[in-house]
Structure 1
Amino acid sequence: MATLSPGFADPVLAAQATFRGVMDAVARPCTVVPLIDTPAAPPPLCAAAAAIALTLFDHDAPVWLDPPLAQVSDVAAWIRFHTGAPIVTEPAVAAFALVSDPAGLRPFRDFAAGTLENPDTSATLILQVTTLEDGPALDFIGPGVAGRATLRAAPLPNGFAEQIIANRALFPRGVDLLFATRGSVAALPRSATLVGEV
């Protein structure tokens, strides 16, 4: 195994800034929010997803890696070393999923959706995308949205629109999505409702 790349240069300040960025994205669905400080990370883990991992993961939050990430031992080692998070092979028990190939992602139903009593036990899926500006336009309404908000992430999981509709029907259960690319993040919480043609 190669020498592990470092985490944040200033762990406390960078984690605080990243946390604020992620929370801002969640509060304003589909809005692209810049992440001020992103670390070096073992490929194919991108810097923005790595920053989110360093900020949100801990020893109580099991993490599932999609096959392209799981095949690179340095990725799991980097996550364990910097966050203490356990790596799991079953998506249903993961608090977080890191996804480098959204088009090949397993169905949302394979991940924890929480329960009516504890909807906060659902999974957050962190999808690495190539763009948050040039993908197909999908409009959403819901909390935090003034009028409509447009998501333009790509690539997206297969059957994305249908899966989002099914996920919304589970509310207050359901997974939450974060999209990470080139130092930016956007969010699609389970409360967002897809509108228009699908």
Structure 2
Amino acid sequence: MSHITSAFRDAVHDSQFCFRRLLKAMSEPGTIVELDRCQGFGTMMPATGQVLLAMADNSTPLWLSPAFMKDKAAKQNIHFHTGASTNATTGKASFAAIALADMPVIKFDELAFNVGNEEYPDRSTTIVIETDGFFSGQQYKLTGPGIKDEQYIQLGELSSVVKNALLVQGEVFPLGLDLIFVSGEQVVAIPRSTSVEAV
């Protein structure tokens, strides 16, 4: 049985809108941006779906966390609307998406996502991580490119392994992972060039 639902109303313009918003988020780490061009697929948050719609295509190796892989609506819609393969290994994935439901149990430190290499640092994995909000949880201080002096952000209730991954951001730049945190229609990006400190 098909679980396909509608995505962007205007595929070109809505995708460009989301792409520009994501560029703002990546170039201004810690800044909250809104993605409001379509609903999520299945249990997938609206912004998670929109990030993948804007960034993935049929040449994109995509890794989905277990809850998304079990969610037929999420998996079928992402595959249908983007053409992206959803069976990539973590080491080969250009993009990865971690469901909120998987946050308490995800073995982030064991997943071996691609951090790029010295010749092609931009080939690292970009990870979309669902969280329960940006106004609770541990406060973090961000510094680095795109930030004037420093930026403070909360990322909700994160698992200890995700917190540990966050606190090593910037240490191996230009290698590393680009992280995109999502809550509902809101997005905060913490690219691999950003240094993160718990406050």
Normalized against structure 2, the TM-score is what?
0.91
1:83 corresponds in structure 2 to 82
1:67 corresponds in structure 2 to 66
Q: 1:5 to 1:41 in 2, by over 3 A?
A: farther
CA contact (8 A) 1:5 1:41 kept: no
Task: Decide which of 154, 157, 164 is 1:155's aligned counterpart.
Answer: 157
Give the gaps of 5 or more residues in structure 2. Answer: none
Q: How many residues align?
A: 196
Task: Give runs of ≥4 in structure 1 deviating > 6 Å.
Answer: none
Q: Select between 13-22 and 159-168 the one with higher mean Cα deviation.
A: 159-168
Q: 1:192 to 1:60 in 2, by over 3 A?
A: same
1:33-63 Cα offsets, whole Å, 9 max, x none, are: 11241x2333211111111111001111111
Instruction: Report the Cα offset of residue 133 of structure 1.
Output: 2.0
Instruction: Report the Cα offset of residue 121 of structure 1.
Output: 0.7
Cα distance in 1, alignment partners of residues 197 and 73 from structure 2: 40
1:99-131 Cα offsets, whole Å, 9 max, x none, are: 113333332561011101000110000011110
Identity %: 27
CA RMSD in angstroms, aligned pairs only: 1.7
Give the gaps of 5 or more residues in structure 1. Answer: none
The AA in structure 2 aligned to 1:66 is S
1:74-115 Cα offsets, whole Å, 9 max, x none, are: 222111110010112521111111111333333256101110
Normalized against structure 1, the TM-score is what?
0.91
1:6-85 paired onto structure 2 within 5 Å: 6-37=6-37, 39-85=38-84
2:5 corresponds in structure 1 to 5
Cα distance in 1, alignment partners of residues 198 and 65 from structure 2: 31
1:170 corresponds in structure 2 to 172
